Amino acid sequence: MKKNKSSKNWVIQQHRDQYFKQAKSSGFRSRSAYKLLELNKKFKFFSKCKTVIDLGSYPGGWSQVLKKNLKNCKILSVDIKKMEKIEGVDFLCCDFREEESKDKILKKLNNKADLLISDMAADTTGNKDLDCIRTNALCAEVIEFSTFVIKDSGVVISKLFNGADFLDVKNLAHNKFHKVNFYKPESSRDYSKETYIHCAGIKTL
Ligand SMILES: C[S@@+](CC[C@H](N)C(=O)[O-])C[C@H]1O[C@@H](n2cnc3c(N)ncnc32)[C@H](O)[C@@H]1O
């Protein structure tokens, strides 16, 4: 049966509400928390993590999931917006793209990280193509940075959009990592071009 626009909107709304309500009742600060749980179910990167960096952490759903699932793990969260404190989570308020911020992140860590996760998305401008390019540029920067900050056996998870520059980011990831996969969690809105890249095992020369 072909769905008309209003029934499609109804389905979208229900989908959105399901995760929104679930997040509220579970005490998660964002519905995004479920995306990270699904990503971990798929790729199982939580096991044996001792140091994790969460980029684009505000309001804190992913950091809450990390805190809940990783025992004795150093968690460093980063966002331009100030995130309300989460016990046991270290927070840096800065623009990840600045060199100074990258230096600060490196200084905060005693050892290289096992896991780098990024849910960063550029502010929306109303121009979908431009938003896509800007968010995918952030993803490319995360992949470049990851090779300095994670262990050779480490894992990267990063949001990107299936649109302009997607192939460039994919090629960059293949140049840097042995394993590259893509996964769109069910809790990610169907109509969104958002997906996540999973990279594992840095290629060393
Ligand atoms: C979708 S939200 C993240 C939601 C978060 N994962 C959660 O579970 O609550 C994207 C975040 O990326 C942040 N962001 C975007 N560009 C950034 C940058 N250059 N540096 C740091 N944070 C950035 C935004 O401020 C925003 O809070």
The length of the chain in residues reads: 205
Chain centre distance of CA 17: 21
CA of 36 to the centre of ligand 1 (A): 14
Give this prediction's pTM.
Answer: 0.92
Active-site residue set: 159
Angle at 100 between CA 99 and CA 103, to 5 degrees: 90
Domain annotation covers residue 145:
yes
Among candidates 33, 44, 34, 37, which has minimal Cα distance to 155? 44
Domain hosting 146: range is: 32-202
Beta strands 150-161 and 194-202 are: antiparallel
The percent of the chain in helix, strand and coil, each rounded to the nearest 5, is: 40, 25, 35
- Structural domain count, the chain: 1
Say what the pLDDT of residue 48 is.
86
Residue among 38, 94, 119 to mutate when testing ligand 1 (max atoms within 8 A of CB)? 119
How many Cβ atoms are within 10 Å of 186's Cβ, its own excluded? 11
Say what the pLDDT of residue 6 is.
66
Say what the pLDDT of residue 161 is.
96
Ligand 1 neighbourhood includes 93 CB (under 6 angstroms)? no
Among candidates 131, 133, 155, 132, which has minimal Cα distance to 143? 155
Among candidates 106, 76, 103, which has minimal Cα distance to 92? 76
Ligand 1 neighbourhood includes 119 CB (under 6 angstroms)? yes
Domain annotation covers residue 112:
yes
Q: Which atom of ligand 1 is nearest to the CA of 61?
A: 8
Domain annotation covers residue 148:
yes
Q: Which atom of ligand 1 is nearest to the CA of 62?
A: 8
Tokens of 137: 């540029």
Say what the pLDDT of residue 1 is.
47
Domain annotation covers residue 13:
no
pLDDT tens, the chain, 205 aa long:
455 666 667 666 655 568 888 888 888 999 999 999 999 999 999 998 999 999 999 999 999 999 999 999 999 999 999 999 999 999 999 999 999 999 999 999 988 999 999 999 999 999 999 999 999 999 999 999 999 999 999 999 999 999 999 999 999 999 999 999 999 999 998 888 999 999 999 998 7
Domain annotation covers residue 7:
no
In one-letter notation, the amino acid at residue 63 is S
Domain annotation covers residue 27:
no
Domain annotation covers residue 18:
no
CATH code at position 144:
3.40.50.150
Secondary structure string (H, E, C) spanning 42-71: HHCCCCCCCEEEEECCCCCHHHHHHHHHCC
CB 150 within 8 A of CB 105: no
Domain annotation covers residue 194:
yes
CA of 96 to the centre of ligand 1 (A): 10
Cα separation, 50 vs 137, whole angstroms: 28
Q: Which atom of ligand 1 is nearest to the CA of 101?
A: 20
Say what the pLDDT of residue 133 is.
96
